[in-house]
Structure 1
Amino acid sequence: MGAPRGSGAVPRFWQGQTPKTTLDPALAGDLCAMFSEIEGVGGPGEDPSRGYTRSAWTAQDLALRDWFARRAGSLGLRVGTDSAGNQWAWWDSPHGPRTAVTCGSHLDSVPSGGAFDGPLGVISSLAAVASLQRRGLTPSCPLAIVNFSDEEGARFGIACVGSRVLTGVLDAERALGLVDAEGREAREILREAGQDLSAYGADPELLASIATHIELHVEQGRALADKGAPVGVATHIWPHGRWRIDIGGEANHAGTTPMGDRDDALVAAAALILRVREIALARGARLTVGRLGIEPGATNVIPSRVRLWVDARAGDSATLDAALADLAEWSPLNESLTPATSFDEDVRERLCAASTRVLGAATAEGTAAGHDSGILQDAGVPCGMIFVRNATGFSHTPREYATLADCTAGAAVLVETLEERTRAR
C-alpha cells in the first residue's frame, strides 16, 4: 500500500522551497502534494490576503471531506463517519479496549483564515501513515486518522462541536438545534450532508478503544519562534470558553428621534466592549468580543437589541473566574467552557523523546488556544500535541505561516511517535 506520489506540485505559500532541503524529502513531497490538492478549496484565488474560508458543512468543507476520504482510501485505510459527524480512516489490526493509536485534526477554518490551522494536522497524519507504509510497518494495534467536524465553531458559535458531541460534553439535541447566521438549523444542514441523525450523539465505545491520541497543529503564537525551535510539545491548554450577553434598547427612527431621547442598544454594547478590554488588562486575562448580532439591523433604525459574544481565556481558572465575575452585572450566558487541561504525562514524554531522537532536542510549552485533543483529554482519552513553529506568530488570519522545513520536522516527529507506539513487539 501507499499514497499516490505527488506530481511535484508545490502550494503557492511554499514556492521556492524544495522537499530536497528538508529532513525527509519523501515526507515533504507528500505534504506539498496534498496541500496543492486542496489549495483551491475555499482559497484566496489571486489575492492571498483573502485567506481561506471553509466553514463547517459548507460546500467547501464537504469538498475537503470528500478529498480526505479519497486520500485515506488511496492508503488502503477504511474510512467511515462516527455518530458525531467526525471522519475516521482506520488502518486495522486486532484490537480491544484502549489499544488504538489515533492522530489528526480538522479541515474547517475561520472566515479568511490561514492555510495551516487544522489542515496541517490532517495532512501530516496522512503523510505519516504513507511514510510508515514505505518503511514496511505492520502495526501491532489499530491506527486511525481523524478529521474532526466543526472545530472552529465559525458557523454555529461553539468550537469543537464534533469532539464535544462525540464525548457527550455537548448534548446532541442542543448541537442539532444550533442556528447559523442565515437562520438555518444544524439539524437541517447535517441531514442534507448525509449525516444519520437517528444515531447522532456520543460514542463511548469508540473513545474507550483509544489508547493514545496525538494532534499535530501549527503553533498559534510565536513562543517557538522566540525560542528558535521548529517543533514543540504541548504541556497544557488554558481554561477558556464563550459567553453571550444580550443588551436591550428601543427601536426608533434614526432621523426624527433626538439624540437625548434614544435608548440605543448598540451604544450600550460599545461601552460594554470597552469595559471588557479594561477587565482583561486589569485581570491579566484575554477577553475578546469578535461577534455581534444587531436588531433590527437597518441603517436608519436605532438598534433595539444587541447580542454579543465574549471569548474568555486565562492562564488559570482563578483568573478566568475573577474576570467573569467582573462581567456578572451583564448576566453573561455560558455557551461553552473548557477547563484547564493538562495533557497525558506518558504521551507527553513519548513526544519529547521522539522529538529528541529526530531533532536532537525537545521544547515544551502551554497554549491558550483550544483543540479537539483537549476535549478528548478531559473525557479520559490520553492525548498529546505536537506544535509546528509559526514564523509570523499570527493565527486565524492569512498571515499565519510555517515553512516546509518546519512542517516536515513536525511530521517526522509524528512518524517517529506513531512507529514507536505501533511497532510490532
Structure 2
Amino acid sequence: MGFEEMWHELEPVGRSSASGGYFRQPWTGAEGELRSWFAEAAAARGLRVETDGLGNQVAWWDAGSGDAVLTGSHLDSVLDGGAYDGPLGVVSGLAAIDVLRERGVQPSRPLGVSVFVEEEGSRFGIACLGSRLATGTLDWSTARELRDRDGVFLSDALSAAGLGEGGRWSELDGVGCFVELHVEQGRDLVDRGAAVGVGSGIWPHGRYRFEFAGEANHAGTTRMEDRHDPMLTYAMTALAAHKQARLAGERATFGRVAVEPNGTNAVPSRVTAWLDARASSEGSLSELVDVVIRQAGERAGRDGTTLDVTPESVSGEVAFDADLAARIAADHAEGDWPIIPTAAGHDAGILAAAGVPTAMLFVRNPTGVSHSPAEHAEVADCLVGVSALANTLERLVS
C-alpha cells in the first residue's frame, strides 16, 4: 500500500462535514482511530510498535546496531485544521520505508517512524506536549495537572483513553538523528518554485495567557464613563499586539478568547485571551511581548481593570544541524533544495533542543494557508517529498 492509498484511508477521519476541516484532538475518538491505523500500518510492514503511557508511538525497523535514525511527525490537529499538518510526515515516513525496501536497502542502524501526541497543544494548551514529556523537557508532575477547556485533567483524559502516565521515554535514548517531513505553512516554496525545502531552524515562540478582570454590570443602565470593562482593555491589547508585530516584522496573534459571564446584555467581569507570539530571535520575542504587556497594563489603568499575564509555553530559538541540512539539500538532481527557516513550532524543535541532531523537510503548499481547511499539498509534490525523505534516510542508515 503506497502513499496515495494510505492517504485515502486517512482523509475522512475526523473531518467535519460542515467546514471540511479536521477535529483530531488528542485522546478523542478521531485521534485514537488514527493511532490504531498507524499501529496496523506498521504491523503490516513487519515493524515493531512501541507505545508509551502518553500514547506516543514508534514503529521500528529493527536492523543493524548503534544509534537509531528516527522520522515521523504527529496525527493530531488544531480545531478545524487542515489534513496535511502532521499526518503528511507520518504517512511519508511509512512510504519512505516502502521505497527503501523496494530499493533493497539493508539498514546498518535501526530506523523508526514516530507519532508524537498533542503536538498542536489544541486541547491542553502546551504545544509539542508529547515530545516535551518524552524527552524529559517537561516534568510529568506539572503536566498531569493541566486541564482542557472542559476542565478535564490530563491524567484523567489518559485514563479514559486506556493509557497511563507521561514521562521521559527510554525508547528515545538510542536515537542519534531525527528527520521530520512537514507540509510548508507559508508561501516560501511557492515563491521559489520548489517542491521541497530543507529547514534551517525554528523561530522562538510562546503562548501567553492574558487575564483581564473588571466589573460586571448592566449593558443598558451603566453609563459608559462608569464602566470597568475588561473587554475594552483586551480589544486595545489585541490592536497593540498587531501593530507592534507589524512594526517589528514579527508575529503576534490573539486567536482564543473566553469571556465571563458571556452575556449579550452584560458588561463582562473577566476576559481571558491567549497571545501567540513569534519572532526571529529570542531577544526580539522578549521585546515584543514586553511591549504588548506594558501597553496592556497602561490601558488597564485607564479602564479601571486589572491584568495578569502567565507564560504557558515558551520555546527558544532552534537551529537544525547545518551539515545535515546541507547534505539533504544537495539531494536534488537539478540543484540544491532551498534551505529555509520556519516560524512554526514542531516536534523536531523539541528533539533538537534535547540534543538530538535534527533536520526538517518541507513540502510545498500551493495555497500558503495552514491551520485551516484550505491547507493543501499536491500529490506530485508529496511524492517528491517521499523520495527526498527516502534518499535522506538511506544516506543516514547506510
TM-score by length of 1: 0.87
Q: How many aligned residue pairs are there?
A: 386
Deviation at 1:169, TM superposition (A): 2.0
Aligned match of 1:76: 46
Give the 3 Å change call, closer, same or farther, for CA 127–227 of structure 1 in structure 2.
same
Instruction: Please give the per-residue CA displacement for 1:367-410, whole angstroms capped at 9, x wherever unaligned.
Output: 11110001100110010000001111111111111111111001
Deviates further, 376-385 or 290-299: 290-299
Aligned match of 1:351: 328
Deviation at 1:102, TM superposition (A): 0.5
Instruction: Please give the per-residue CA displacement for 1:256-309, whole angstroms capped at 9, x wherever unaligned.
Output: 333332222112211111111122122222111001121122333321111111
Counterpart Cα distance in 1 of 2:120 and 2:20: 18
DSSP 3-state at the match of 1:311: strand
Aligned match of 1:35: 7
Counterpart Cα distance in 2 of 1:82 and 1:136: 31
Mapping of residues 318-337 of structure 1, within 5 Å: 318-329=283-294, 330=297, 331-337=308-314
Query: Identity, % of aligned pairs?
Result: 48
- The question of 1:383 aligning with 2:355 is answered no
- The question of 1:158 aligning with 2:126 is answered yes
Aligned match of 2:301: none
Aligned match of 2:168: 202
Deviation at 1:115, TM superposition (A): 1.2
Aligned match of 1:21: none
Give the 3 Å change call, closer, same or farther, for CA 228–387 of structure 1 in structure 2.
same
Which letter does structure 1 place at the counterpart of 2:317?
Answer: A
Aligned match of 2:390: 415
Which letter does structure 1 place at the counterpart of 2:126?
Answer: I
Stretches of structure 2 that go unaligned for 5 or more consecutive residues are 298-307
TM-score by length of 2: 0.93
Counterpart Cα distance in 2 of 1:226 and 1:220: 13
Deviation at 1:230, TM superposition (A): 0.5
Counterpart Cα distance in 1 of 2:73 and 2:120: 11
- The question of 1:374 aligning with 2:374 is answered no
Aligned match of 1:53: 23
Counterpart Cα distance in 1 of 2:63 and 2:20: 43
Counterpart Cα distance in 2 of 1:396 and 1:71: 26
CA RMSD, 1 decimal: 1.6
* 2:205/2:277 contact within 8 Å kept: yes
* 1:53/1:109 contact within 8 Å kept: yes
Aligned match of 1:27: none
Aligned match of 1:113: 81
Aligned match of 1:104: 72
DSSP 3-state at the match of 1:50: coil
Mapping of residues 129-148 of structure 1, within 5 Å: 129-148=97-116
Stretches of structure 1 that go unaligned for 5 or more consecutive residues are 6-29
Aligned match of 1:173: 141
1:228 to 181, 193, 213: 193
Counterpart Cα distance in 1 of 2:150 and 2:248: 36
Deviates further, 367-376 or 265-274: 265-274
DSSP 3-state at the match of 1:121: helix
Counterpart Cα distance in 1 of 2:323 and 2:116: 24
1:398 to 354, 373, 376: 373
